[in-house]
Amino acid sequence: MKRIEPMNRIALLGGHLALAAQKLAQQKDAIRGFFLGTRTTYGLVFTIILYLLLLAIGFVYLYPLLFMLITSFKSPADLLNPMVQWVPSEIYWGNYVKAFRVLDYPSTLMSSILVSVVPSLLQTIVCSLVGYGLARYEFRGKRLLFVLLLATFVIPPQTTVIPQMLAYRDLGLLGNVLSLILPALFGQGFRSAIFVLIFYQTFLSLPKALEEAARLDGASDLMVFLRIAVPTAIPSYIVSVIFSVVWYWNETYLTVVFLEGSVQTLPMQLSKFVQAYQNLYPPGTINIFDRLNEAVKLSGTFLNILPLLIMYFILQKWFVESVEKTGITGE
């Protein structure tokens, strides 16, 4: 047999040691990449910290809603039992039945939809027209118009409510739903300036080549707006409708001033829930515990925000899909 020289043995051993060291380094890099991440992937430590942070932030935001929902389903026995915290012993619907009656829910719900949804839709349509005109046309006084729009958003509405109220009184609009619908129809609804700016930025990023090609085909300005601009601005429409409905829904100060109590919305009815509850259940008809039951108030609060939550869940899917379908970048 051929004998291996000592020098060859040393070289062969060095090669094995180098290969083992290389494998060990690769294993260390793999372990380090698994825990700490690489240039292209996140590590396990970062992922755990990120999810813990997101869970903590989510819990801070969801805690009031969870507490309200769980407490609203507690029976009187669970409310008096200090051992019952997060899991009620039974699902008790009596609180919602009482809150439903106190809020006069069907009537106030329809009033809330009339006061919030109708002006929001009109306001969104008008603001899109104004934003498109500002983004696509040049005219004198454009900068001044922008300043005035920003002023309507920056100036608190409480400082202009008296002149508005006097003007609406002269026009015979006080105590009428038209006092909210007509301003929205003319682009002067609640915080209309922010929606104009949203549509302005959206239409400003629209490629001009699309509009020029449509005009070469004989399309009018209105057809260009309806066929090209509107489909690409669907995310802006959805965002504007969501925020506008929420702001109209939660606005009680201006609604009370302009409607003068002729229309009762859910937030307005909720603000006087205790008084309405005492009127509906006078002393002697119900025990003192039910009159002091906080679960009934929380049930009324949840019924108040329930339509908004349903709207969020429905439009969120449409919003994501519309962003994917209309991902057009400007020139």
pLDDT at 123: 92
328 secondary structure, DSSP code: P
Is the alpha carbon torsion for 36, 41, 45, 49 positive or negative? positive
Task: Give the pLDDT score at 8.
Answer: 60
The pLDDT value given to residue 122: 92
Per-residue pLDDT of the chain (331 residues; tens, 9 = 90+): 445 456 565 665 566 666 666 776 677 766 776 666 666 777 777 788 888 998 888 888 888 888 888 888 888 787 777 787 788 888 888 888 888 888 888 889 998 898 889 999 999 999 999 888 888 888 888 888 888 887 887 888 778 888 888 888 888 888 888 888 888 888 888 888 888 888 888 888 888 887 778 788 777 888 888 888 888 888 888 888 888 898 898 888 888 888 877 788 888 888 887 777 777 666 655 555 555 567 888 888 888 888 888 888 887 776 665 555 444 444 4
- Residue 267 has what pLDDT? 87
- Structure tokens belonging to residue 128: 């899109």
- If residue 307 lies in a helix (H) or strand (E), which one and from where to where? helix 294-325
Quote the radius of gyration of the chain (alpha carbons, Å): 31
**Between the CA of residue 305 and those of 68, 101, 233, what are the distances in Å?**
11, 16, 28
What would the two tokens of residue 315 be? 């439009």
Q: Given this model, what pLDDT does residue 229 score?
A: 85
Q: Give the model's pLDDT for residue 330.
A: 40
**What was the pLDDT predicted at 17?**
61
Q: How far apart are CA 189 and CA 198, in angstroms?
A: 15
Residue 55 burial class via C-beta count within 10 angstroms: exposed 0-12, middle 13-18, buried 19 and up: exposed
The top-level CATH class assigned to 104-271 is mainly alpha
Q: Alpha-carbon distance 17 to 22, whole Å?
A: 9
Nearest to 204 by CA among 244, 176, 232: 232
Q: Report the SS3 class of residue 266.
A: helix
